[in-house]
A and B are shown apart, each in its own frame.
Chain A
Amino acid sequence: MSTEQASAGGCGAPAGGAPVSAAKDAGTQAVVQGRVTKDGSAVATGYARLLDSGGEFVAEVPLGEDGGFRFFAAPGSWTLRVLAPGNVRAERTVSADTGKITELEVAV
């Protein structure tokens, strides 16, 4: 998914729910992306939420078929929270920088 495709969306829409292929170049964005796995396999049903440093909700995306998610954040510290069926919850703190892709794999 290129940034051009994603920006064609509206108030929200990522270009699709299909696999979230990893961005190769952050450009001027502060990208936070990764995968959610359980026992080494992708968690394809679930949601990733991005919270700011004050714990305030900023955005939420459904996980892709490969368990993938991606956010275009601003530089700074963020919390990533994963929700999945079976009352599965996981949380990671992550810092984002302009021009950088921050990758994280979340095992639940």
Chain B
Amino acid sequence: MSRSDVLVDADWVEAHGGDPGVVLVEVDEDTSAYDKGHIRNAVKIDWKADLQDPVRRDFVDKAGFEALLSERGISNDDTVVLYGGNNNWFAAYAYWYFRLYGHQSVKLLDGGRKKWELESRELVTDVPQRPRTSYHAQEQDKAIRAFRDEVVAAIGQRNLVDVRSPDEFAGRLLAPAHLPQEQAQRGGHIPTAKNIPWSKAAEEDGTFKSDDALRTLYGGAGVDFGKDTIAYCRIGERSAHTWFVLHELLGQPNVKNYDGSWTEYGSLVGVPIEIGDGK
């Protein structure tokens, strides 16, 4: 896996976004952004309404993912190019999700919607009509998804990477600063976790930093590249971005995203929690 396998740039999307076998998909934190304007030929996936189970705290199951992709007109053989706002935060989450269900060819638009908008590239409101497909998903690949017991067992054993902001890591904030700060849970972080905010992996225009800069960033913060890694945040979306960096860009073999993340861990009874700034 290398950068060119998993990233495309804006010029590539302008040239190939309408090619047969290529499907552009916008997945945004702001789920109304698509309706105001999107890249030509892009369809929309709503990270919440489409990807989350409406009742339980979990993802849509395999059948639900198949139904979603079939309805959006995405085939197993298509190259899916994902993009979204906020440094591809939710697009990276969707990327992880496509991999979880075994989609073969999936890429991110480097810089995402932000870079595209800041460069004043074309946005349209036409919604493409794609014929229905019969999508077949694989069983979830548990090699990239961590659950709570595994996370507790990993304390002091594997790299734990807390990708939230320093204030969330320390326990001073319980959510990113554009969300209200009320939660029924304790603040802090998992003992032995290193705090490397997800956003450090991106330049201000939303593109990913170079491999060398990324290795320096994670290595310098105490990630041992010889060990397996679990990344977490608050509900597993920012950490999907870091999973993408460590697993897809840097090619680390065993990296999992703990999607339960702090809203689960910080609500568990009896597990160890550390507060205060990173050491």
Measuring CB to CB, which residues of chain A are less than 8 angstroms from any residue of chain B?
A: 3, 6-7, 9-14, 16-18, 28-30, 45-47, 49-50, 52, 54, 56-62, 65, 70-74, 83-87
A16 with B178: CB separation less than 8 A: no
Contact B86 A11 (CB under 8 A): no
* Chain B, Cβ-Cβ closest to A73: B177
- The smallest beta-carbon distance between B188 and chain A, in angstroms, is 15
**Are the C-beta atoms of A11 and B181 separated by less than 8 Å?**
no
11 A-B pairs whose Cβ atoms sit less than 8 Å apart in the complex: A7-B179, A9-B29, A16-B30, A17-B32, A47-B114, A47-B118, A49-B204, A56-B166, A72-B178, A74-B167, A86-B120
Interface size on B, residues (CB 8 A): 44
Report chain A residues within 8 Å CB of B48: 9-10, 13
User: B178: which A residues are within 8 A, CB to CB?
Assistant: 12, 14, 50, 59-61, 70-72
Known: A17-B36, A56-B166. A29 touches B180 (CB 8 A): yes
What CA separation (Å) do A105 and B146 show in the bound complex?
43
Interface of chain B residues 185 through 208 with chain A (CB within 8 A): 197, 199-200, 204
Residues of A within 8 A of B237 (CB): 10-12
When C-beta atoms are compared, the residue in chain A nearest to B236 turns out to be: A11
> A14-B178, A58-B177 are contacts. A74–B36 as well, Cβ < 8 Å?
no
User: Which candidate, B10-18, B124-132, B152-160, B168-176, is the interface stretch facing chain A?
Assistant: B168-176
Tell me whether A59 and B117 are in contact (CB under 8 A).
no
CB distance from B45 to the nearest CB of A (A): 14
| A10-B237, A12-B86 given; A58·B167 CB < 8 A | yes
The reply to whether B30 and A60 contact each other, CB–CB distance below 8 Å, is no
Q: How distant is the Cα of A10 from the Cα of B89 in the complex, in angstroms? A: 12
Contacts of A28 in B (CB 8 A): 181-182
Chain B residues, CB < 8 A from A18: 32
State whether the Cβ of B75 lies closer than 8 Å to any Cβ in chain A.
Answer: no
Do A60 and B180 touch across chains, with their CB atoms under 8 A apart? no
| Binary flags per residue of B115-143, CB closer than 8 Å to A gives 1, else 0 | 00111100000000000000000000000
A56-B30 contact, Cβ under 8 Å, with A11-B233, A11-B234, A12-B89: no
Nearest B-chain residue to A27, judged by Cβ: B180
Are B119 and A57 in touch, CB under 8 angstroms? Answer: no
What is the distance, in angstroms, from B119's C-beta to the closest C-beta of chain A?
7
